[in-house]
Amino acid sequence: MTSRAIESQKVWRLQHPLGPAFVLLLVVTGACGVPPAPARSPAVQRQAVTGGVLEPGYPAVGAIVPVSPLCGEPDEASPVMCTGTLVAPRVVLTAAHCVESPDVSQVLSVVFAPEAARALSSERVRVVEGRLHPAFNAVENDIGVLILAEDAPVAPVSLAGWALPADVVGQSTRVVGFGLDDEGRSGSRRSGSARVTAVEAGTFSIEASPGMSCGGDSGGPLFLEVSGAERIIGVTSYGDPSCTRGTNTRVDAHAAFVQEILDEVARTPPSRPLFDSAVDACTARCESHDDCPLGMACVTQGGGEKSCAVAGLEAGRFGADCTGPEGDRLCVKAGMACRLWLPCAEPAPEPEERGGGCAASSSSGSAGGISAALLALAASLRGRRGSSLRRQASGLGSCPWAYGQDGC
């Protein structure tokens, strides 16, 4: 869950450490937003979930994970970036700072299983779009949704009209998420009991009792039992670095924002064109991500033209079939196959070259080529996201540690 808080004139947003080196590609994701708190400095802390237990229930609560575009990078190895709750067959409720980048949805899946690393392929659903509250400013209105490419394999949680009880202060609420546990492990659904301490117009605060949201749980739900039934009342937003207190976004205060999206998706479920790796992606133009197949994104080439690229990578085209990287060329997922990813600056391969296969280079060469490519791309993405964040929060320094990922 995410823990973001203001304590001793410091702004804290907790985030779990990154897993595979591939995640450097995904620093564009919104889980590392900067809360704009004037005259306060961000700081970095690392803490684990406190007082939680493994939770086999709450199947609608899923882990939000990045999807590697590289062949040989198993989905099971992806670290949890945030947590979310299925509130309609194709809509997942989460925190706005988990989806604040317009490109985040192209590289994410939601995993509906108690352990993200053990999930079946049918329990992993790709995301096609992310929406965040139009008034989100990294401190207020921290609520957003992810729209799925297909119906989730579990039943959603109802958001039917229900307001936060007037006497909620002092009551116990259950926090659920896939973040770090007390031993620094993540990726398993956990829950814990926390006590409501205060209520504001758009948020409410909790303290550990003894459970508490912490790193990796951003966007996760908080449930309250009323008259024998549990209802989702909040979305994990921020807290203190010791994971003993937290502030959460009220769901009832933002019901209109969520309902509008639910109605839209129910009327017109999202769709994407069929994937065809034979198409020259460098010459096939697009205007938005919606014009590209699932797993690809509309990116800008060097000359300013836009084309569909494998999500998470720069503009390029598919080359020959491959079993591994070849020099500095990445071997990427192309539907059910693996193909070399060639820069658009290179001439398109001749038709007879396609499907010819390529041998994997030596392990040292492969690792070096991939690392160089990923690091270069990560630097580019980090720069673009940094500019956006600075516009959001002028006057603040580097990105603080937010629920979901460790790098800024």
What is the dotted CATH code of the domain comprising 1-272+373-408? 2.40.10.10
pLDDT at 51 over 80: no
Cα 35 to Cα 26, 39, 248, 394: the distances in Å are 20, 12, 14, 10
Cβ atoms of 85 and 152 closer than 8 Å: no
Q: Which of 123-132, 215-224, 376-385 has the lowest mean pLDDT?
A: 376-385
> For residue 340, which phi and psi values (nearest 5 degrees)?
-65, 145
pLDDT at 387 over 60: no
The pLDDT, as a whole number, for residue 238 is: 86
The pLDDT, as a whole number, for residue 302 is: 80
Residue 105 and residue 78: Cα distance in Å, rounded?
Answer: 15
The pLDDT, as a whole number, for residue 214 is: 82
Q: Percentage of residues in the chain with pLDDT exceeding 90?
A: 37
The pLDDT, as a whole number, for residue 151 is: 96
Residue 94 and residue 384: Cα distance in Å, rounded?
Answer: 23
Average pLDDT score over residue span 320-336: 89
pTM above 0.85, yes or no: no
Domain range annotation of the chain: 1-272+373-408, 289-372
Residue 333 and residue 381: Cα distance in Å, rounded?
Answer: 21
Report which of 362, 372, 408, 364 is spatially closest to residue 388, judged by C-alpha positions.
408
pLDDT tens digit sequence for 70-111: 998 888 778 888 999 999 999 999 999 998 877 877 889 999
The mean predicted confidence, pLDDT, of the chain is 74
Report which of 63, 62, 69 is spatially closest to residue 293, judged by C-alpha positions.
69
Cα 405 to Cα 59, 97, 151, 177, 181: the distances in Å are 23, 12, 27, 15, 15
Average pLDDT score over residue span 237-252: 89
Tokens describing residue 299: 């990116």
The pLDDT, as a whole number, for residue 215 is: 76
